[in-house]
Amino acid sequence: MSRAGYDDVVVTAPVTLSYVRYSIHGAHWFLAGALAELLQRAGLGKGEIDGLCVSSFTLAPDTAVGLTQHLGLTLRWLDHIPMGGASGILALRRAARAVQCGDADAVACVAGDTNHTDSFRLNLATFSEFARDAVYPYGSGGANTSFAFLTAHYIRSYGAAREDFGKLCIAQRANAVKFPHALIRKPLTLDDYLTARLIAEPLRLFDCVMPCAGADAFLVLRRGKAEALGLSYARILSTIERHNAFRDDPIQYRGGWALDRDELYGQAGVGPQDIDVLATYDDYPVISLMQMEDLGFCDKGEGPDFVRRNTFTVNGSFPVNTSGGQLSVGQAGAAGGFLGLVEVIRQLTGQALGGAVADPRVGLVSGFGMINYDRGLCSGAAILAASGGPA
């Protein structure tokens, strides 16, 4: 049975709070701030939201249901998605079906985390049972260790050069310079990138995201309602998700996108050549190259060549992570899984806060999450269209 389309379900009201490196507040503070800004932008009262989808690593001991009382919300649909970098795509998928089926009329999707001086370490130490048992005791490097393994293997297998990863990081930094909420806005040179201090060979400082606090949000509802509210919106052409794909690969060199991309493009009725703006999940540059390959922008192993042939700034040949991505904006925990999605909504609705891609019609957002042991388990992607874009 083929997947149903999303009819007239749309996504709107993209919100990114200004990120901060450290905060004395709890996760609730950031989630409340993002929700308040979303309501204000949408012109809705709290009582006009009947669905909520929450992602956060630092909300414990609360879950989404605790948040309903904390924020004083009465809802008829509620979800909690603890899937990190895939949580934005997954929130969109679930919320869109709820709205499409009439289980809810307006679903606010919110992700956010706080960051105290020691919370990142504590989160790493207990991130998953496998991480606690079989990774963290080995050097306690966190995700740096896992991505160092994947990056070293990718370099060896496909002949990538450090400069290839650097080119992407530098382009994203150039995008971030114009994005007011980015934490790191100092222009990055290739020399800065290549000579930064070593973190986990071959990774150096600017290959790694900076943990921080912040929140992102968006709103899912029907087109008619968005139009009645005077909101510009993006349409949902297709979405995919996959968990623990290619589990017999001894080391990760591809993700679930490679399994599902034909359906992704098939349902959307567009191909990779039609994508005007791309948001990859970019906690480390190697995973952006993997997504470009697995989503069909180039063949497997041709990521380095694709990088050499393209430019990735807002006005480049292939705009990627136009707000600067996590590598420049920061990684606010689960909000990192929302950052690319809200940026593509902004681009497609003419609301870019930084540099704007010229007349984008179709955008692709990709998510990747949860290094449970030796690899990221969750992959997802969504193709969105501007309201005047392809049907």
Partner 1 sequence: MTRPLVRPPRKNPIVRTRMPTLPPAGRSRVALGLTAAAARGRFELQVCRDCGTVQYPPRESCCSCLSRRLDWRPQDGTGDLLSETTLWHSNELFYRERVPWRLGMVRLDCGPVVVAHLHGDCDAAPSRVRVRAALDRAGQAALIALPEKDAPNMADDRQLREMTCNPKFRKVLITDAKTPLGQAMVETIVAADADLVWAGYSEPWKKTHGFDRLTALPQVSLLPLDLTNSRAVKDAAGEIGGRVDILINTADYHRNYGIAARNGLEAARAEMDVNYFGLLRLAQEFAPAMRGRGADGQSSAVAWVNLLSIFALSNFPPHGTYSASKAAALSLAQCLRAELSPAGVRVINVFPGPIDDEWNQLIPPPKIAPARLASDIVEALRGGAEDIYPGDIAQEWLARWRDNPKTLERELAAATR
Q: Binding residues for partner 1, per CB under 8 A? A: 120-121, 124-126, 129-130, 132-142, 144-145, 148-150, 152-153, 156, 197-203, 250-251, 373-374
CB closer to partner 1 out of 190 and 198: 198
The CA distance from 127 to 310, in Å, is 36
Q: Please, what is the minimum distance in Å from the beta carbon of residue 264 to partner 1?
A: 28
Cis ω on the peptide bond leading into residue 202 (within 30° of 0)?
yes
The span from the CA of 57 to the CA of 248, in Å, is 28
- CB of 186 vs partner 1, minimal distance in Å: 21
Smallest gap from Cβ 71 to partner 1, in A, equals 32
Nearer Cβ to partner 1, position 130 or 187? 130
Smallest gap from residue 146 Cβ to partner 1 (A): 8
Least Å distance between CB 145 and partner 1? 6
Question: Closer CB to partner 1, residue 148 or residue 245?
Answer: 148
Would you give the distance in Å from CA 118 to the centre of its chain? Answer: 24
Angle, CA of 355, 360 and 361, to the nearest 5°? 155
Q: Cα dist. 71→14, 33, 34, 94 in Å?
A: 20, 10, 12, 22
User: Are the CB atoms for 29 and 114 separated by under 8 Å?
Assistant: yes
Q: How far is the CB of 162 from partner 1 (least distance, A)?
A: 14
Cα–Cα–Cα angle for 272, 274, 10, rounded to 5 degrees = 100
Paired residues of 218 in beta bridges: 109
* Interatomic CA distance for residues 22 and 36, integer angstroms: 21
At closest approach, how far in Å is the CB of 288 from partner 1? 19
Whole-number Å distance between alpha carbons of 43 and 264: 33
Q: Which is nearer to partner 1, 7 or 129 (CB)?
A: 129
Supply the minimum distance, in Å, between the C-beta of residue 62 and partner 1: 23
Cβ proximity to partner 1: between 45 and 250 the closer is 250
CA distances from 227 to 42, 221, 230, 246, 299 (A): 11, 10, 5, 42, 40
Spatial distance between the Cα atoms of 111 and 62, rounded to a whole number of angstroms:
14
Q: Side chain identity at 374, as an amino acid letter?
A: D
Return the number of the residue (184 or 208) whose C-beta is nearest partner 1: 208
CB of 133 to partner 1, least distance (A): 4
Q: Which C-beta is closer to partner 1: that of 119 or that of 239?
A: 119
* Cβ proximity to partner 1, 116 vs 261, nearer residue: 116
Nearer to partner 1, 29 or 373 (CB): 373
In Å, how far are 45, 73, 385 from 381, measured between CA atoms? 31, 30, 13
Q: Could you give the CA distance from residue 77 to residue 54 in angstroms, rounded to a whole number?
A: 11
